[in-house]
Amino acid sequence: MSDFTLGAKARAAGYRLRGYDSVGSTNSEALEAAASGDPGGIWFVARQQVSGRGRRGRQWESPYGNLAATLLIVPDCDPTLSATLGFVAGVSLSRALSAILPNGLVHIGIDGADGLDGQSRIALKWPNDVLVDGAKLAGILLEANKLPDGRQAIAIGIGVNVVAAPRGLPYPAISLNDFGVSRDAGEVFDALSDAWTEIFGLWNDGRGTGAVLEHWRASAAGIGAPVAVTQNGDVVRGIFESIDDAGRLIVRGEDDRRIAITAGDVHFGATASAQS
């Protein structure tokens, strides 16, 4: 076991914690707990994952000292709203990192697109990445299992590059340590657990989804910029207009049609123009 602790707000809200030094996958631990009858409201946190997962079955590399955290919840909401928990996680992580990164440390620019006019250090990239200075600092992965009573158990996995970023990726990645920011994974988790408590309260079993999405849009990078979205080998190009109230990416196509995207790999700016 490891020495992680919950933030004061998370403790007051009744969250529980299971910490590890190293684990196969925090998402797997969470889903196994759900299958065993855990009611949710528990974080599974580790300094290293050896079998971490990313989107679309990709491996999520997690060197020792980084943060791997998964929250298991069984929300009391329409199952169609469960996907918006990814935006709750994104806003929460953005808030937590804003409290950790020094002001004015970096400027935003994703694939050449400055979506926040250079005014913020942290940007949320649809659907589930957190970037700093154009490079991926953190990722989010939601996985769900249906319970015998018909409800969904949701594992909300969050990985943050604290001490080191994976190498050899098809996109730039960065760690807090690369910026000279010396933080322990436990400090990052403490801030994250409290920020989640606030934003999840705002979400309010899906009734506050609109408010959460407004916060997400305020931190979104690439709005108004060229975008290319790859879906099963096909590429949709246009201008990134916004995300709608269901959390879909809205692209103004080259023929001026508004296209709603529910999933895909997103590239902005010059990279978008170069995508084939």
Token pair for 92 = 């929460």
Each residue's pLDDT, cut to its tens digit, for the chain (276 residues) gives 568 999 999 999 999 999 999 999 999 999 999 999 999 999 999 999 987 555 444 555 678 999 999 999 999 888 888 989 999 999 999 999 988 876 544 433 344 344 444 445 689 999 889 998 778 999 999 999 999 888 899 999 999 999 999 877 777 899 999 888 888 999 999 999 999 999 999 999 999 999 999 999 998 978 898 999 988 788 999 999 999 999 999 999 988 899 999 988 888 864 554 444
Distances in whole angstroms, Cα of residue 26 to Cα of each of 59, 75, 143: 13, 19, 11
Q: How far apart are CA 198 and CA 207, in angstroms?
A: 15
pLDDT value, residue 1: 52
Token pair for 147 = 């319970």
pLDDT value, residue 134: 79
pLDDT value, residue 120: 52
- State phi, psi for 67 to the nearest 5 degrees: -105, 125
What is the CATH code for 8-218?
Answer: 3.30.930.10
Q: How far apart are CA 256 and CA 2, in angstroms?
A: 53
Q: How far apart are CA 89 and CA 73, in angstroms?
A: 12
CA 38 to chain centre: 24
Sequence ranges of the domains in the chain? 8-218, 226-274
Architecture of domain 226-274: Roll (2.30)
pLDDT value, residue 259: 93
Q: Would strands 226-231 and 265-268 be described as parallel, antiparallel, or unpaired?
A: antiparallel
